[in-house]
Amino acid sequence: MTILDKIVAHKKQEIAIAKKKTSVEELMDKKYFYRKPLNFIYHLKQNPHGIIAEFKRKSPSKNDINIQAKVDEIVPLYKENGASCVSVLTDEHFFAGSLNDLKTARKYDIPLLRKDFIVDVYQLYEAKAFGADCILLIANILTKEEIRDLTDFAHDLGLKVLLEFYGGEDFAKYYSKIKMVGINNRNLNTFEVDYEHAIKMRNELPEDTLTVAESAIYSPEIYKELKTNGFDAFLMGEYFMREKNAGEQLKNFINQIKE
């Protein structure tokens, strides 16, 4: 069993518990459920740097990154220093995140991606109720039919969808209503990083697809190589979160990629 298999199995158990604890009706009663989401894609296109700065405390591949990090201390700095959007890890068991992190980030009026392992419509109700503007779907853990159904329901809720690919076989699961595709530079099963593989996959997508490079962007040089090869946006977390001042790291990074 791969780490991804373990995460998904654990996630399904979490969802079953969550459904017993909080009903869909209760989620729909929360104050953010009826707010009009910010247009995640529009904000990415408006910002020339296209950086989705991620709030992440730990990960299975890197262990603790910044385990004591607080949303109130990081997200406003991301906004102040040039992030287009913010990604918030909400998985608790493997990433030390929570839906309350998402709710706290909502205070700062910047487009938010709920980054999690979404396998059930219930999680879309959660995402909307806690303030997300966009959700992540990972093609590797979903069928084509599940991607279609989850996307349609997300759109009904006013949420954008970022569909993540890694392997070439993921292309068979592409759904035409999805306008934003992420290519993960890191294989989620082996954790190996391969930028050339990501670039090759980008070149096989339709030109008008907004493409997001994800994971292992550790330098301005990597950013520039990916941008030169057609990527429109860049999801980055560890590079900022490991630093004492994540906002300053972001500002310095943007200054370097301008050069």
Give the residue numbers marked as catalytic. 54, 56, 115, 164, 184, 214-215
The continuous run of DSSP H or E covering 137 comes out as: strand 134-138
Strand partners, 193: 186
Contacts of 159 (CB under 8 A, 6+ apart): 37, 124, 127, 128, 132, 133, 134, 135
33-51 b/e (C-beta count within 10 Å ≥ 16 → b)? eeeebbebbebbeebebbb
Give me 61's structure tokens.
């591949």
Tokens of 10: 């654990």
| Among the listed residues 126, 28, 173, 107, the one whose alpha carbon sits nearest the alpha carbon of residue 115 | 126
Phi and psi at 231, nearest 5°, equal -75, 140
**Residues in Cβ contact with 174 at an 8 Å cutoff, skipping those fewer than 6 apart:** 163, 181
- The alpha helices in the chain, defined as continuous H runs, are 3-21, 24-28, 40-46, 71-80, 99-105, 121-129, 144-156, 195-203, 220-228, 238-241, 246-258
